[in-house]
Structure formats: C-alpha cells, structure tokens
Structure 1
Amino acid sequence: MRAVRMGCVGVVVAGLSSGAIAEEGMADLGDMLEPIQQEFALPALFAAVAKDGEIVAAGAVGERALGSGVAVTIDDRIHIGSDGKAMTATIAGMLVESGDLRWDSTIGEVLGDAVPGMNPGLAAVTLDQLLSHSSGIPTDTEEMIDIYFNANAFDNSPTALRLMALDAWKHNAPVVPEGSAFQYANFGYMTAGAMIEAVTGQPWEALIRGRIYNPLGLKSAGLGPTATTGLIDAAVGHLKLEDGTIEPRLWGSWADVPPLLAPVGTNHMSILDFAHWAAWNAGKGMRGPQLVQPPTLAHIHAEKLRTPERPNPPPGTPKQGGYAYGWSIEKFDWAEEELLTHNGSNNFNLAKILIDQDRDLAIVVVTNVGGRDSDLGAGKAMGELYQRYK
C-alpha cells in the first residue's frame, strides 16, 4: 500500500458535509478543527460537544483515507479504542445490580472450572481489581502479545479465544508494584469480559450491542475496523511509520487489534454517537435510559487508586492522576479541577473523552492516526473546546 509523507495531509475538507447534520441547532466546529488538523498533520479530526444532555456542536475535517480525496463527515464511523473500557465497566455494573457478579467476584470463582490449574494469586484477583488496573497483572508483555496474535484466530470464536488466552497465561502470578498498584492491563479487561460472558452465557459481541448500543440508540456503533471491506465508507485508521510516512489501514485483520480484545476496546461509532455516550455519563445516570442505577454509575466513576507519575508517558497516557473503572481522573492545565477522562488507541486511531459532571458537559475528540502528534492535536482541540463551552 502506498505510504504518504506525514507532512502532506492531502485534500482538506472542512466543516459538516451536506446531509451530515444529524441534529438541529448544532454549531459547526469545522473552522476551529481545521487549523489543528493541519498543524499536527492529521488525516482527519472529529469533535463533538454535549451540554445538558444535548449535542450543541460537532465537526469533522480531513480525509477518510490519506490521499483518497474522500472527505469525512460527522456521520463517519470512527474508532474509539480503549474508551470502550468504560462500557465494559458499565455492563459489569449491570451484572452486579442483578446479582450475577459482585465487585469482589474472583477470576477463579467465575472461570476456575473453564480454566483449571490457575495460579492461586491470579485466581484470587477480583473484578474490582481488573476494572481498576490494580490486580498485579502487568501492562502488555511480549508473552501477552504473542497470546493475542495467536495462530488459532480462525479456528475458534472470540469467546473461546478469551478463555484460551487466560489458559495460556494462567501460570503467571500477579505482581503488585510498590507505591501505586496501578498497571494499565488490557489483559485484565479481556479477563473481565470473559467473566461477564461466563455469568451471562452470551458472547461479548452480543452483550455490548444489547446492553449499551441498542438502549442508547447508538445506531452507528460496531466493533472492529470502521470501513466496509472494499469501500472507503468510514474514517479508516492510519499507522505512522518510522520514516515519518503514514499508511492507511483500510480493511481486514491488520486494520484493528484481534477480536478477542473486544472487551478491551475495539469499539467504533460516529462522533455523534460517541457524544451521546459521553452525555449519558455526564448526566450521572439521571437521564434515560437507565442502564444502571445512579449509585452504581457513581461507583464506576469514583477513584479507586492514584496512578504513578510518568515523566514521559506514551501517547494517550496521563502523567499522573486517579483511575476509576474505565475512567481516568486527571487535572488539566485549562481546568480548575480534576475531570473524568480517558484515551483510546489501537495505534491507528486516537480518541479522547472528557466529562465535567458539575457542568453536565461532555467533549469527545477523535483522529484517525495514532502517535504523539495525534495525542497533542486531539488534546489541543479538547482543551479549546472545554474553555469555549464550560
């Protein structure tokens, strides 16, 4: 596939294209987003703002695939990655309310029969620890990555692959570091997804649709690569290569992480649907639909531990702050207090979500390329939007 120099963004189409406005009365953010998109050489940049449960502004600028000349719209499917972890935590909250799970349910208690011979320390890890990244399960190791990208992907269902992944890693003992217990663990969220599947008897892929997408009316939402195979009908992800070029990742297995990681974050949806999800959280669960009771959502949003300070964090990772269940609590230079936030990236896209519950304000920003420039550009857009709409 032809790689395009990072310095050449190609055709830039600003604002909302004809027919793209899904709701009346929204301000067009195109004029604000276009300079940021060009400054950071992003293929495309999307943003939306929700206030008091209503989307008040949205915009999309750039191309679906770099060099294609196909302009994005605000209806395009975009990849939100690990911002879907909060959806996993919300489904877990539903099952705690129904009595199918407890926050202190352990891996061994729920999955011990399916994965026998588990290390006792791993078996003792709780759902609470998995969702707060405090279990002692490390950030992705080489062994874990080899497990994710295994040779059995076409021989088993994602549900079976999740159990197989846990079985392959079951000999390891979790190790909680000194100081903060926080270690961002995708493997932990995959395991939490397997626990949820075990107690419901349903595949994760059906659960996310039935429990989150459909009740909230997120009609554009799905899992995996954004574009239909053979078409450029969505904002596709891009990989920035070592020589500075960026390569469109159009379709197929190379366009996203393996499907077994769906509970970790393979979600995609339009920027407007992403904003609807954000607005529901900003409303503290007081607005319908009532996915979980407000006290349960408050527990999901509540800080569980402080994260260690990172002097040079990877793109999308805060220098320091707190962590809840699928939500970071972070202090920004342009805000007076810490706010709920999260970042999602499959290395080909980068998504940011920000919640100010005191102001009932939600902001989402997404770009379709990964890396540090994407983090900086999306972060700049998020800060400007917060100052404009707070």
Structure 2
Amino acid sequence: MKRTVLCMMLGLLAFGAQAGPSPQQPSSNATYDRIVDDAVARYRLPGIAVGVIEDGRITYATTRGERVAGSGETLTPQSIFKIASNTKAMTASVLARLVDQGKLRWDDPVVKHLPRFAMFDAWVTREMTVRDLLVHNSGLPEGGGDLMLWPEPNNFTRDDIVAGLRHIKPAYSFRSGYAYDNLLYVVAGEVAAAAGGAPYETLVQREIFEPLGMTRCRVGAFDRDATGDVAQPNVRKPDGRYVAGDNVDDAQVPAITSAAAGGIRCSLDDMLRWMQAWLAPDAQAKAWLSEEQRKEMWKARTPMPISSRRVRWDNTHALAYAYGFRLADVDGQWTVSHTGTLSGMYSAMVLLPDRRSGFVFMINGDADDARTALSTVLLKTFTKPGQGVTIARYADELDAEDKDAEAKAKHETKPDAPRTPVTAPFDDARTGTWRDPWFGTVRVCPANGRLRWQSEKSPLMVGTIVAVDGRWRVDWDEDRVDLEAWVDFADGRMRMAKVDPEGDFSSDYEDLDFTRVGDCALK
C-alpha cells in the first residue's frame, strides 16, 4: 500500500513537471512592491529582503527595514540573514557533489563512512543509507533530539549527537512515515566530512559557495564586524512591536553544532545566485552538478501529509520530501521549495522549475503568519495571475484560524492556577542529580531557598521549579527557552512534557527519561 501511494505521488509530481506553465506576462515591480509593502505594514516587520526570478532572469530584488529593530541600520541586498532550514538543500547538494566525484553513493550504509553511528534499533543502524538521512522517514519522533541543538548556545557537540541517537526511541517504523527531524542532517554533514576529507564548513565553502560565486554566504565561525552588514534576529512583543532578540550576534560569531541542519547565512544576492543555479544554470552552474544528480535531488522520496489549508488555498494533491527540498503541485503547477525557521529569523524559497521562475525572501523577525501570507501571494502571481489576491485576504484567514485555535484552547484548558515557587522542606526523592542517556545530566537542587532545575550541557536551560495545582513545572530564566515544561516523578524516574502540547516540536521534553544518579552534592 505504501509503495502504491508513493508511486501515485510520483506520478502526480511528474505530471506537474510535464504540464508546463500557461502563458503569462511577467509581473511588474509595482506589483511586487505593493505585495511586499502590504506584508511589511500588516505585520510591522522589522526587516525583509525579497527577490524574484522570472524565466531565468532576476526581475526584482528589494529590501525594507533595518538590520536590528530601531537601529537605523538599513538592510541591503548584501545583508546576510540566517536561512535556517533552507540550509538543508545545501547540505544535500554537498553530498550530491561528492556522489558526482565518486567519493560516496546515495545507497552507501551510513556506517561505511561513520562506523560509530547507531540508531536505537540495530537493524535500522545496519540498513540506514546516506539517502535516508535526508528524507525524514527514519522513525525518529518529530524534532527528536532537538534539545541537543537548541536553545543556543550550548555545549553539545556533533559527536554527542551521533552518540545520542542510539538512545532516542523511535516513534514509528523505519521508512514507514514522515516526521521532520534535524539531527540526521547533522549526521549527513559528518558523513560528508568523512567522505570529503574536510570539515563540513570547509566542504560547503568548497562545494557550494566558491563554485557558485556566493561570496557573502557564511558557515562556521566568522567576525561579525569584519563581515559587516549582518541582519540580527528580532522578536515580536505581544503588542506587535519588534525588539532585538536575546540571540543577537557577538562580535565573534562561533561555529555551531547544528550547521548542517540550519546554520548557513546568506545575502539576498547570494540566494538569487543559488536559485539560478537550479532554475537557469549558466555553463559554470551546469558544470557544478551533473544532470543525473539534479534529478536525484528533486525526486519525491517521502510522502507528507497535506493540510486542509493547502487543499483549500492551493488545490494541492501531492506533497513529498526530496533531498532538502519539498515538492508539491500548486494550482496544477510543480513547485520545489523549503522554509527556514529560527528564533527571530524566518525565510522561504519557492521554485517553479517549468517556468524557470521563483522567489525567495528572508525576514529578521518571528514571522510565521507573515511568511505564510507572503509566500502564498507571491506564488499566486505565477499560478493564478490577475486574480487580485492580496496579503489582507490570507492574513485575515490566518487571523481567524489563530482566534479559533485560541478559543478552543481556552475552552479545553482551564486557566493556570497561581504558581508558587517550591521551597523547603525539599523532597529527597525528587531532588538530586538526574541523567538522561542522550541529553545528559541535570540537577534539581536547592539554591537561595528555591528549587532550581539546571542542565549541565545546555546552560540556557536553567529555571525555578514552581507548583501549579499541585504539579511541578519549570519556569525558565531565559525567554529563549520558549516553552515551559511539566516535571513529573514516578518509580525513580523524572519525566517532562510541554505545558503547551501544541508547542514547538523542537522542545522535545517528552523524549527525555531521567534516572536519579546522585544527590545534589554530586557534580
């Protein structure tokens, strides 16, 4: 049955690729200006960079706003943004280049290149191939192990991630479904490093940035001021204002463990070069990647669930994950896309290969609904030209959905009872040093008359234990740890869960299983 479903999806996506675009006049800059200005005004965005390619040519590139909210430092097409998970296609492309060079094969077992690699199940360890690392069908829970990546900065290494994977219990059978993960892209970066004979960051520079002329892109450590023109993350306050986030860069930007999953930064000009390498490659870009590997990159691999909104807005029939890209039919046309999400940074890139067209934008602010509305309206300029779709139309629908969700949450969840810090006398069965096999050691110990929860390897994950309706939860000190967690104890174990069950899947507290290993004096 699963093979039949995937074949049907492949057929639908192939049909989209063959159907070709209907005739259309390129949209004017005035049209794009109106769309961008409407999005900026509706969502009070701190800064945005937007580019459009039509029939292989860059026809529109613009920026609005500031590098940091309130700074007066104007964004330019050379401003570099965190592209977050739009990194994944670049990581996959590094592997594709290594395949072209004969240094690995997509069907190589991961353990051929990383003998220390292991998943929870020994059979999965043996059977997992390089291609499996990229397509979100491993069996890992959605966002499984992401607490080793975020919040940043933390002290988890890539070796910690490779070692930790063997302890994360699967949520479903290997290759039987879709659940988005980040850790296996970190592993993919390590496979690339092993096969390519250089660190991941060096390979990205060598295999992507240099041959494609993406001169402003950065990965790994760099000097913020020497680089110059670096957009910074901004967070949205409840009143809609944006302010600089807690994760603004220091003068020396460090390398990060999550680089292969979401750590690349690029300018608008660089992202347009990246798009042209796929949509309208010149001789240099054609030589960069073989036609065989280009096709491999855009084959549907894992069917993805299709939301009712996608059906309603885009008439989508097929949606699948490829190597670092998502494939879908939209209004009868084939699209290749991805998004990027980090605290204070949102991005989207959408390609329409049959038209040799597409768009990209990067926002230096938390902007989930803004990204959805802007992506939809820009896409409709290609798939439904002349229909008069507006930011207001989709923003209003999203607002209505948000209000419905809030009303449902209020109906189903009673308001929080008062929270009271847990104070002495402390329960010796619940205080002490605890260890999870992949997250490591935490201490639940008294300090200054309060009970504190503190991670050894994730220093931002520190908070005060409070009692709410007789149940314990962690009130984190840092806003960057964006979801509070319940803390429960039973049978010598400590378990955790998101207070908001619908919260960000990267706050994967539910996958933690702590065992008490000592008292509070133990370090």
Q: Taking structure 1 as reference, are residues 330 and 287 closer, same or farther at Cα in structure 2, changes over 3 Å only?
A: farther
Residue 303 of structure 1 corresponds to 300
Higher mean alpha-carbon deviation, 58-67 vs 161-170, is at: 161-170
Partner of residue 331 from structure 1, selected from 321, 329, 332: 329
In structure 2, distance between residues paired with 1:99 and 1:263: 21
SS at match of 2:323: coil
In structure 1, distance between residues paired with 2:265 and 2:84: 7
SS at match of 2:190: helix
Residue 212 of structure 2 corresponds to 216
Report if the CA contact (8 A) 1:285-1:297 is conserved: no
The 5-angstrom pairing of residues 1-390 of structure 1 reads 30=33, 32-112=35-115, 114-115=116-117, 119-120=121-122, 121-141=124-144, 144-149=145-150, 161-176=157-172, 181-223=177-219, 228=224, 233-241=229-237, 244-249=240-245, 251-252=248-249, 259-283=256-280, 288-310=285-307, 321-332=319-330, 335-380=331-376, 382-383=378-379, 386=382
Higher mean alpha-carbon deviation, 179-188 vs 351-360, is at: 179-188
SS at match of 2:354: coil
In structure 1, distance between residues paired with 2:280 and 2:104: 25
Report if the CA contact (8 A) 1:131-1:326 is conserved: yes
Report if the CA contact (8 A) 2:225-2:251 is conserved: no
Report if the CA contact (8 A) 1:225-1:251 is conserved: no
SS at match of 1:103: coil
In structure 1, distance between residues paired with 2:37 and 2:210: 32
User: Shift in Å at residue 368 of structure 1?
Assistant: 1.1
Residue 475 of structure 2 corresponds to none
User: Shift in Å at residue 331 of structure 1?
Assistant: 3.5
Residue 4 of structure 1 corresponds to none
Q: Taking structure 1 as reference, are residues 321 and 232 closer, same or farther at Cα in structure 2, changes over 3 Å only?
A: same
Higher mean alpha-carbon deviation, 62-71 vs 286-295, is at: 286-295
Structure 1 spans left out of the alignment, 5+ residues: 1-25
Report if the CA contact (8 A) 1:44-1:367 is conserved: yes
Q: Taking structure 1 as reference, are residues 256 and 362 closer, same or farther at Cα in structure 2, changes over 3 Å only?
A: farther
Report if the CA contact (8 A) 1:257-1:346 is conserved: no
In structure 2, distance between residues paired with 1:187 and 1:89: 14
User: Shift in Å at residue 300 of structure 1?
Assistant: 0.5
In structure 2, distance between residues paired with 1:151 and 1:344: 16
In structure 2, distance between residues paired with 1:349 and 1:152: 16
SS at match of 1:49: strand
Report if the CA contact (8 A) 2:80-2:230 is conserved: yes
In structure 1, distance between residues paired with 2:253 and 2:179: 23
User: Shift in Å at residue 388 of structure 1?
Assistant: 9.3
Q: Taking structure 1 as reference, are residues 225 and 382 closer, same or farther at Cα in structure 2, changes over 3 Å only?
A: farther
SS at match of 2:297: helix
Residue 11 of structure 1 corresponds to none
The two structures, once aligned, show a CA RMSD in angstroms of 3.6
In structure 2, distance between residues paired with 1:149 and 1:321: 28
Report if the CA contact (8 A) 2:233-2:344 is conserved: yes
Report if the CA contact (8 A) 1:166-1:191 is conserved: yes
Superposed CA offset, 1:255-298 (max 9, x none)? 99971111112111111110110111113787625222011111
Q: Which amino acid in structure 1 is aligned with residue 324 of structure 2?
A: G
Report if the CA contact (8 A) 2:256-2:263 is conserved: yes
Report if the CA contact (8 A) 1:83-1:344 is conserved: yes
Select the structure that is richer in strand. 2
Q: Taking structure 1 as reference, are residues 52 and 376 closer, same or farther at Cα in structure 2, changes over 3 Å only?
A: closer
Superposed CA offset, 1:288-334 (max 9, x none)? 25222011111101111210234689xxxx997111111101234xx
Higher mean alpha-carbon deviation, 103-112 vs 350-359, is at: 103-112
In structure 1, distance between residues paired with 2:255 and 2:306: 30
User: Shift in Å at residue 116 of structure 1?
Assistant: 7.1
Greater relative contact order, per chain length (Cα 8 Å cut-off, separation 6+): 1
Q: Which amino acid in structure 2 is aligned with residue 97 of structure 1?
A: D
Figure out how many residues of one structure are paired with residues of the other and give that number. Answer: 351
Q: Taking structure 1 as reference, are residues 253 and 102 closer, same or farther at Cα in structure 2, changes over 3 Å only?
A: farther
SS at match of 2:136: coil
Task: Percent identity, please.
Answer: 22
Q: Taking structure 1 as reference, are residues 73 and 298 closer, same or farther at Cα in structure 2, changes over 3 Å only?
A: same
In structure 1, distance between residues paired with 2:60 and 2:227: 28
SS at match of 1:338: strand
Report if the CA contact (8 A) 1:220-1:270 is conserved: yes
In structure 1, distance between residues paired with 2:329 and 2:297: 19
Q: Taking structure 1 as reference, are residues 306 and 373 closer, same or farther at Cα in structure 2, changes over 3 Å only?
A: same
Q: Which amino acid in structure 2 is aligned with residue 370 of structure 1?
A: D
User: Shift in Å at residue 107 of structure 1?
Assistant: 2.4
In structure 2, distance between residues paired with 1:286 and 1:227: 33
Give the alignment's TM-score, normalised by structure 2. 0.59
User: Shift in Å at residue 34 of structure 1?
Assistant: 1.9
Q: Which amino acid in structure 2 is aligned with residue 327 of structure 1?
A: F
In structure 2, distance between residues paired with 1:247 and 1:225: 25
In structure 2, distance between residues paired with 1:230 and 1:251: 16
SS at match of 1:67: coil
Q: Which amino acid in structure 2 is aligned with residue 95 of structure 1?
A: L
